[in-house]
Amino acid sequence: MKAKLEAYVERFRELEQLVAEPDIHKDPQRYKSLMREHAQLSEIVEAYRKYTHLTEQLEQARALLADERDHELHQMARQEVKQLEHEIEAREYELKLLLVPTDPLDHKNTIMEIRAGTGGDEASLFAADLYRMYARYAETKGWKTEIMSTSETEVGGYKEIVFSISGKQIFGNLKFESGVHRVQRVPTTESGGRIHTSAVTVAVLPEAEDTDVQVSPEDLRIDVFRSSGPGGQSVNTTDSAVRITHEPSGLVVSCQDEKSQHKNKAKALRILRARLYEIEEQKKQQERASARKSQIGSGDRSERIRTYNFPQNRVSDHRVNLTLHKLDSIMQGALDELIEALKLSEQEELLHSQTS
């Protein structure tokens, strides 16, 4: 492990010199790549420096421990050695986790798709609640959210909402949100006060860059039509809505939220590229593909990854057996504790697979 860490330190120094070169900005793509690698290594290098400093302190404390002439100093050194050994053990474990290979898609922006599953109007209302939760979480991180496509219901919910989030390390933080989210609460429309259970599916797609996936215009069938709102009422009097069919795969994407046909087409193409990119990634990474398939499910309430229980102010993530009694703050976007637990669980599983 030490040899690998020293190599990372050397590479980090090299990167600092490269990004400081005056001509580096002439190649934005290379500069972006170098800065991304620099950011990834900085955390490892900083943790290694702290670890090295602690080991040096431990050597000094052990030297004092060897001198038994001063009883009081000897006792202080004994306590310091014990404390430092504990801290070093924790730092060593942290370094091992940091050395676990990261998902190459973690730095990508994302396109999220939220769809109402079982539960009718209540499911559509919860789909809207989940969208607001993710939008607020993104806001706390300084990320940008953009709605790309919606299908609203008459009660103010969403049958489906598709939106993008852009910033730093988006997919790496949100990829664990893919799956079926179950809600237990008393619907506002329920006069008897009975608790209903509904389900919503969330899919998180890494957004494809132009170089990631090539879409040939010959493979696309583009139809335009007039957009409509809840219940089918007309929204626009012009053919601004766009439906794109990718004929080789059969994928169909529709966008009608913008008044401009050009803008709707651009958004639909972004969604299409993300879905095609995900298909390609599934082919390359079978393990990731099978995990995602089992998480997304069909929207049935029995295929759940997380339960939101409003009467008890409780959220339970069933993958890491984590229960938090702070649903109110989580629905306001306070997702860090849930997401960090999921990220740590993945790192520990990868670490275990490497050492077993």
CATH 3.30.160.20 fits 217-281, yes or no: yes
Interval 317-333 mean pLDDT: 96
Q: What is residue 251's predicted lDDT score, i.e. its pLDDT? A: 93
Distance from the Cα of residue 279 to its chain's centroid? 18
Instruction: Compute the mean pLDDT over every residue in the chain, rounded to the nearest whole number.
Output: 87
The pLDDT-based confidence of 293 (bands split at 50, 70, 90) is very low
Over the stretch 103-130, which tens digit does the pLDDT of each residue have?
888 889 999 999 999 888 999 999 999 9
Q: What is the rounded distance in angstroms from the CA atom of residue 352 to the CA atom of residue 356?
A: 6
Q: What is the rounded distance in angstroms from the CA atom of residue 227 to the CA atom of residue 256?
A: 5
Higher pLDDT, 100 or 148: 148
Q: What is residue 287's predicted lDDT score, i.e. its pLDDT? A: 53
Q: What is residue 29's predicted lDDT score, i.e. its pLDDT? A: 83
Maximum distance among all Cα pairs of the chain, rounded to whole angstroms: 94
Does residue 344 surpass a pLDDT of 60? Answer: yes
Of all residues in the chain, the percent with pLDDT exceeding 90 is: 55
CATH 3.30.160.20 domain span(s) along the chain: 217-281
Interval 275-291 mean pLDDT: 71
Query: 2-98 — its CATH code?
Result: 1.20.58
Interval 213-240 mean pLDDT: 75
Q: What is residue 289's predicted lDDT score, i.e. its pLDDT? A: 44
Choosing among 3.30.70.1660, 3.90.226.10, 3.60.21.10, 3.30.1330.40, the CATH entry for 110-211+285-352 is: 3.30.70.1660
Coil/strand/helix, residue 115: strand
Q: What is residue 295's predicted lDDT score, i.e. its pLDDT? A: 42
Over the stretch 231-273, which tens digit does the pLDDT of each residue have?
544 455 567 899 999 999 999 999 988 888 999 999 999 999 9
Residue type, 104: P
Distance from the Cα of residue 262 to its chain's centroid? 29
Interval 9-20 mean pLDDT: 90
Q: What is the rounded distance in angstroms from the CA atom of residue 329 to the CA atom of residue 23?
A: 47
Q: What is the rounded distance in angstroms from the CA atom of residue 183 to the CA atom of residue 27?
A: 48
CATH 3.30.70.1660 domain span(s) along the chain: 110-211+285-352
What is the b/e burial string over 208-228, where b = at least 16 CB atoms within 10 angstroms of the residue's CB?
Answer: beeebbebeeeebeeeeeebe
Of 337, 289, 338, the closest CA to residue 318 belongs to 338
Q: What is residue 294's predicted lDDT score, i.e. its pLDDT? A: 43
CATH 1.20.58 domain span(s) along the chain: 2-98
Higher pLDDT, 74 or 56: 56
